[in-house]
Amino acid sequence: MKQKTGRGVANATYIEICGTAVQSDVTYEDVSVRIYPGEDMNDYTVGRNCYYRQDIVLTGIDVTDERVTVGIVPGVTVEPGNMPAKKGGEKQVQVTARPGVEWFFELPEWLSAVIKGDTATYGNRVTYWGPEKVTFLAATANPHAASRSVDFIVAGETITITQDGAVLTAGGETSVAPEANATGSPAFTISEGLGWLATLNSEWGDWLGWADGAVTNEDEASSGSPRLAVKARSVNPSAVVRRGSIEIKGGDAIANPDYPALQATLSVVQQGARVEGSSVTVAPVAAEGLTGSFKATAGLPWDASVQTGGGWFALTGTVNGTTSGITSPQSVSFRTTAINTSSAQREGTIRIHAGNALDDAHPGPVFPLFSTLHNSRSASA
């Protein structure tokens, strides 16, 4: 005990403080700090019944200080759950190595790490000592639908950082009006930060196009629900809807057409065109300058013809043209050619045809909607 080797002896006189210690948010248990009343741990000239005064400031647990022992070092703490698939997703890890113990890891291409405000990016080796909180950040969105992971050995423990797989989901069907230049905004959901590409596909002709200023691709999705802008390039000439679609690809599916995931189809339909007729009642005598009216989807070619009752009235004036809109009535002129000599009403119909038939399966609006002309009873009846 008196050899004075320079390292002190096991039973030298000292004061020992025992308990727990908290450093960098890590709690260490069974920690002891030995305080030697002499000038240092090798000073054995301690006087009996003497008064000693020491001012002590504990600034941390230093592994190089032999006066400090740590009984229990807790394990590395990893925040529960996976890192989100989006770019910038976070995952926190609390490294609990004893102060002074070196640890390190190397970052893959899709991860960065922040320690005390300093950021390390892809390819860097991160080296640190002792306990510290590490915030892992996704440098890129996951380009796959499957999750991806990386393992690190930190302070003798293996930790796993897993990023969720990306998601691409088509929104509901988008309907546009039958008129030309009618617009719509199809929507879809994609993981934020993931690249995407939209491509048009029309089913019956090239009627569907992008609206002015439409965004059809992004290197990184700026939000989780991008909206597209489409328009009808022409009026629907049919009474039935016509369909188109938009193919959406995200992440690895853009460059790899054989990758089945991260692909979706948005459905767009254009409503069928309309024609609405009206009813007209005329006097029982022959008369000129009579009119009926109809309304139809704007932009369609139209023509009028007598369907029934042609023996007592006839069309006059314009009998064809272009429709001006469902809110803008258009006139058809006719005249009655003979007095109604019966006490009963007689009726006739003018047939308005608008649009053009495409084929038997998808007929144009050959609408059975007519202006009906009613002759009232004659005065002598």
pLDDT (tens digit per residue) in 201-217: 866 668 999 999 999 99
pLDDT for residue 12: 65
Q: Flag whether pLDDT at 102 surpasses 90.
A: no
Per-residue pLDDT at 367 exceeds 60: no
Q: How far is residue 130's CA from residue 21's CA, in Å, rounded to a whole number?
A: 14
The rounded percent of the chain whose pLDDT value lies above 70 is: 86
**Number of neighbours of residue 58 by Cβ within 10 angstroms:** 11
Q: What is the pLDDT of residue 369?
A: 34
Which amino acid is located at 193 in the chain?
G
Decide if pLDDT at 60 tops 80. no
Maximum CA extent, the chain: 149
Residue of 122, 18, 143 lying closest to 70 (CA atoms): 18
Assessment of whether the complete model's pTM goes beyond 0.85: no
The Cα–Cα gap between 190 and 198 comes to 12
Mean pLDDT of 298-314: 88
Confidence at 352, pLDDT banded by 50, 70, 90: confident
Residues 26, 43: Cα–Cα separation, whole Å: 34
Higher pLDDT, 203 or 277: 277
- Say which range, 67-81, 318-332, 367-381, has the weakest mean pLDDT: 367-381
Ranked by mean pLDDT, which of 149-153, 179-183, 280-284 comes out on top? 179-183
What pLDDT is recorded for position 59?
A: 62
The pLDDT of residue 125 is above 80: yes
Give CA separation, 141 vs 88, 164, 217, in Å: 8, 9, 16
Q: What's the rounded Cα separation, in Å, for the pair 312 and 157?
A: 100
| Long-range Cβ pairs for the range 314-318 (8 Å, 24+) | 315/350, 316/288, 316/289
**pLDDT band of 37, cuts 50, 70, 90:** confident
Is the dihedral angle over the CA atoms 123, 91, 264, 171 positive or is it negative? negative
- What per-residue confidence (pLDDT) applies to 360? 45
Do strands 118-120 and 325-336 pair parallel, antiparallel, or not at all (unpaired)? unpaired
Identity of residue 268: V
pLDDT band at 98 (very low <50, low <70, confident <90, very high): confident
> Pick the residue with more confidence: 36 or 325?
325
What mean pLDDT do residues 271-294 have?
A: 90
